[in-house]
């Protein structure tokens, strides 16, 4: 990520919090196998530190019973960038280990949310059906404000949505979340290589992702490198927005880039 130090100014340097097994498809089987635990994965710490994705290990299944009923999480909502990063890291750890709490879904909380919301993070992610932020980070109703476009592409509506969360709701953290095997990035790379135009509005996506294409690599390596480069580009554009930059400068906001690895279910920060 291009301006990590600026994003965390005033919050101190925090250890790495995101990382871990191979997805499949097919109803309930997909939901079960998607989240195999990574034994020996790097531990997710108290902040969101830069790291490479952990290598997948032999998948294991957590046999610890889940709670019979959902309980309300009464802990204070994260109010600083560092606190928000720690909460997302903890949720991703639970997701990877089959220990999801599914917080903030009980009837009382649902009634409370009818009168207002206080999300602690904006997640700008891809539309890919395999990467729903609320599941990946094990968060519940009212926790995350999610904005999803193919390839995390920005437009005025996306910029306005992120700005609303930060400026109107005082959200302290924005995460640009790319992911392994992104179809939009692949389409952009292949369209550039072949010189073909995509139909209808899809060409807009290609044009926006184009500047991030890594031309120093070939084949699948180029696509994978472009996924990360695109996250960094989008993060930099968001962090450069004047009103967001002002909040970053005072330590009230962090804008970070991260990747979700489909093969391990780990989220790790892009430096």
pLDDT by residue, tens only, the chain of 271 residues: 334 433 333 344 444 455 433 333 344 333 333 333 332 333 333 345 444 444 443 334 444 334 434 445 567 889 999 999 999 999 999 999 999 999 998 898 999 999 999 999 999 999 999 999 999 999 999 999 999 999 999 999 999 999 999 999 999 999 999 999 999 999 999 999 999 999 999 999 999 999 999 999 999 999 999 999 999 999 999 999 999 999 999 999 999 999 999 999 999 999 8
182 is a domain residue: yes
Helix (H) / strand (E) element for 255: namely: strand 254-260
pLDDT in tens, 106-132: 898 999 999 999 999 999 999 999 999
45 is a domain residue: no
- The rounded mean pLDDT for the chain is 81
111 is a domain residue: yes
pLDDT in tens, 129-165: 999 999 999 999 999 999 999 999 999 999 999 999 9
State yes or no: 104 annotated in a binding site.
no
- The angle at the Cα of 151, spanning 21 to 242, to the nearest 5 degrees, equals 120
How many domains is the chain built from? 1
- Global pTM value: 0.76
2 phi and psi angles, rounded to 5 deg: -75, -35
243 is a domain residue: yes
Neighbour count for residue 197 (Cβ, 10 Å): 9
25 is a domain residue: no
State yes or no: 128 annotated in a binding site.
yes
60 beta partners: 37
CATH code for the domain of 138? 3.40.1050.10
Domain residues for 131? Answer: 81-269
State yes or no: 220 annotated in a binding site.
no
139 is a domain residue: yes
Alpha helices in 147-254 (DSSP H): 156-163, 183-194, 202-209, 219-240, 242-249
Q: Using the structure block, give the residue that is written with the tokens 């909502």.
A: 77
- The angle at the Cα of 251, spanning 116 to 164, to the nearest 5 degrees, equals 35
Q: How far apart are CA 234 and CA 176, in angstroms?
A: 7
State yes or no: 126 annotated in a binding site.
yes
23 is a domain residue: no
114 is a domain residue: yes
Asked whether 173 and 148 are in contact (CB, 8 A), the reply is: no
Asked whether 38 and 20 are in contact (CB, 8 A), the reply is: yes
Asked whether 13 and 47 are in contact (CB, 8 A), the reply is: yes
């Amino acid at each position: 990520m291009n301006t990590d130090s600026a994003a965390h100014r005033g919050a101190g340097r925090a250890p790495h919090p995101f990382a871990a097994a191979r997805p499949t498809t097919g109803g309930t089987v997909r939901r079960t196998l998607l989240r195999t635990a990574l034994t020996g994965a790097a531990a997710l710490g108290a902040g969101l530190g830069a790291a490479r994705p952990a290598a997948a290990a032999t998948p294991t299944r957590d046999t610890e019973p889940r709670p019979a009923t959902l309980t309300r999480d009464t802990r204070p909502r994260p109010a600083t960038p560092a606190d928000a990063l720690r909460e997302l890291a903890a949720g991703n750890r639970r997701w990877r280990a089959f220990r999801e709490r599914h917080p903030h879904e009980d009837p009382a909380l649902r009634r409370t949310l009818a009168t207002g919301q206080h999300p602690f993070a904006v997640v700008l992610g891809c539309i890919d059906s395999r990467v729903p932020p609320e599941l990946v980070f094990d968060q519940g109703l009212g926790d995350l404000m999610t904005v999803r476009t193919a390839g995390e592409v920005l437009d005025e509506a996306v910029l306005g949505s992120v700005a609303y969360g930060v400026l109107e709701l005082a959200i302290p953290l924005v995460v640009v979340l790319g992911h392994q095997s992104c179809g939009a990035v692949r389409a952009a790379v292949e369209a550039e290589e072949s010189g073909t135009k995509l139909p209808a509005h899809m060409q807009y996506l290609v044009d926006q992702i184009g500047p991030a294409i890594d031309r120093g690599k070939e084949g699948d390596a180029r696509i994978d490198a472009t996924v990360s480069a695109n996250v960094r580009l989008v993060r930099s554009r968001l962090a450069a927005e004047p009103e967001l930059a002002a909040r970053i400068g005072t330590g009230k906001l962090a804008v970070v880039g991260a990747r979700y690895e489909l093969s391990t279910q780990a989220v790790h920060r892009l430096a």
